[in-house]
């Protein structure tokens, strides 16, 4: 007869198994499954060979998330890379403000995503979040339900593009024609160097160089002679320069004296001008009075006035008296002893 299993025993066994399962998850998986996540998407227009699920997302070397899915968008060259960011690894921003903080970092700090290689040996890739100033914000907007991070090409892609451009440029060049032209140029140069004209030119050049050396020696001799003759002149010039310097040294004192004289003249100019102005005013008044007096005299001496007639007669008499005195003076000059002996004796003597 079989024994019936106890329900209590079965329940205890299941509960213990659940406890062990949770303990293992916590022990081996840590608390990552309980951490908050923030989902983002990135679109890379290049091959992502070496990028796998679980690849880290690093910001300045710090792990801030991991890749959760890598997809190929059919009909395009774009690769969709989904990832989860860990807000706990980003200090200074609250989880609920993470989306706004990422938008500000994209606009202001030029935050971009780029594929980088973890090891050159294995070729394993990871996603780096870094600042790339001067790069445009390229958003595909193919999954509007997830925050999109703009991407930039990898350094390998940049160098590959440059090498391909250089290779295309070299391919477009007519290398065969350039090679034939270079060979023809070298052959022509070799022929010219071996020609007799070049040999004669070299000989002529030797002659010219020899003549140039002789001319240089003559110039050196002439320079020596000139230096010998210029020496005394330079001594005199130096003495003249010293004298000029001494004269220039006295110039400030002379300028000060001139300034003092000018200051004194300036001090006396105003009183002198005032005196001249006063004298000019007095002279004007005097001239006005003289004009009045002369007008009165003119009226008095007019021929129509009695005084004028009297003055006229007096002037005639004075003129007659002056004529008589002139005759007397002439007579006395001829007969100087007339004053002693009289006129009659002088006449008798004749």
Over residues 303-322, the pLDDT tens digits come to: 555 656 666 676 777 677 77
Average pLDDT of the residues in 18-33: 64
- CA–CA distance, 209 with 212 (Å, rounded to integer): 5
The predicted pLDDT at position 166 comes to: 77
More confident position, 254 or 23: 23
pLDDT tens for residues 46-89?
Answer: 888 889 999 999 999 999 999 999 999 888 889 999 999 998 88
- The pLDDT score that the predictor gives to residue 303 is 53
**Residue range 291-295: mean pLDDT, rounded:** 62
* For residue 95, pLDDT beyond 50: yes
* Cβ(83)–Cβ(68) below 8 Å: yes
Quick one: pLDDT at residue 294? 59
| Mean pLDDT value across residues 232-257 | 65
Residues 6+ apart with CB under 8 A from 67: 51, 52, 53, 54, 55, 56, 57, 81, 82, 83, 127
Position 206 scores a pLDDT of 78
Q: Looking only at Cα atoms, what is the longest distance across the chain?
A: 231
Over residues 219-240, mean pLDDT: 65
Q: How confident is the model at residue 151 (pLDDT cuts 50, 70, 90)?
A: very high
pLDDT reported for residue 172: 76
Residue whose entry in the numeric block shows the structure tokens 């070298």: 186
Residue 1 confidence (pLDDT): 45
Paired tokens of 256 = 């000060």
**Identity of the highest mean pLDDT range in 17-26, 105-114, 196-205:** 105-114
Pick left, alpha or beta for residue 235 (phi over 0 → left; psi -120 to 50 → alpha; otherwise beta).
alpha
- pLDDT: is 127 or 74 the higher one? 127
Q: Confidence class of residue 93 from pLDDT cuts 50, 70 and 90?
A: confident
Mean pLDDT of the chain: 75
């Amino acid at each position: 007869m079989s024994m019936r299993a106890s329900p209590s025993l079965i329940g205890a066994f299941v509960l213990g198994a659940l406890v062990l399962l949770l303990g293992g998850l916590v022990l081996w998986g840590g608390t990552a499954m309980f951490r908050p996540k923030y989902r983002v998407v990135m679109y890379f227009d290049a091959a992502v060979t070496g990028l796998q699920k679980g690849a880290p997302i690093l910001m300045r070397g710090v792990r801030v998330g991991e890749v959760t899915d890598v997809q190929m968008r059919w009909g395009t060259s774009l690769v969709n890379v989904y990832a989860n960011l860990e807000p706990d690894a980003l200090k200074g921003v609250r989880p609920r403000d993470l989306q706004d903080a990422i938008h500000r970092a994209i606009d202001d700090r030029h935050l971009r995503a780029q594929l980088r290689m973890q090891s050159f040996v294995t070729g394993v890739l990871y996603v780096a979040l870094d600042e790339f100033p001067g790069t445009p914000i390229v958003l595909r907007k193919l999954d509007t339900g997830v925050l999109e991070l703009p991407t930039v090409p990898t350094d390998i892609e940049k160098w590959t593009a440059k090498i391909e451009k250089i290779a295309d440029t070299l391919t477009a060049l007519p290398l065969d024609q350039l090679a034939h032209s270079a060979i023809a140029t070298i052959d022509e140069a070799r022929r010219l160097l071996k020609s007799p004209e070049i040999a004669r030119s070299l000989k002529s050049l030797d002659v010219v160089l020899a003549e140039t050396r002789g001319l240089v020696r003559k110039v050196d001799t002439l320079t020596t002679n000139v230096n010998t003759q210029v020496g005394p002149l330079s001594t005199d010039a130096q003495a003249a320069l010293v004298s000029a310097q001494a004269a220039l040294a006295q110039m400030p004192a002379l300028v000060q004296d001139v300034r003092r004289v000018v200051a004194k003249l300036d001090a006396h100019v105003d009183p002198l001008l005032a005196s001249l102005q006063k004298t000019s005013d007095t002279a004007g008044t005097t001239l006005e009075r003289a004009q009045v007096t002369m007008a009165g005299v003119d009226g008095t001496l007019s021929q129509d006035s009695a005084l004028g007639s009297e003055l006229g007669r007096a002037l005639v008499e004075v003129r007659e008296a002056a004529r008589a005195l002139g005759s007397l003076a002439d007579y006395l000059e001829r007969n100087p002893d007339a004053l002693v002996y009289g006129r009659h004796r002088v006449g008798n003597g004749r």
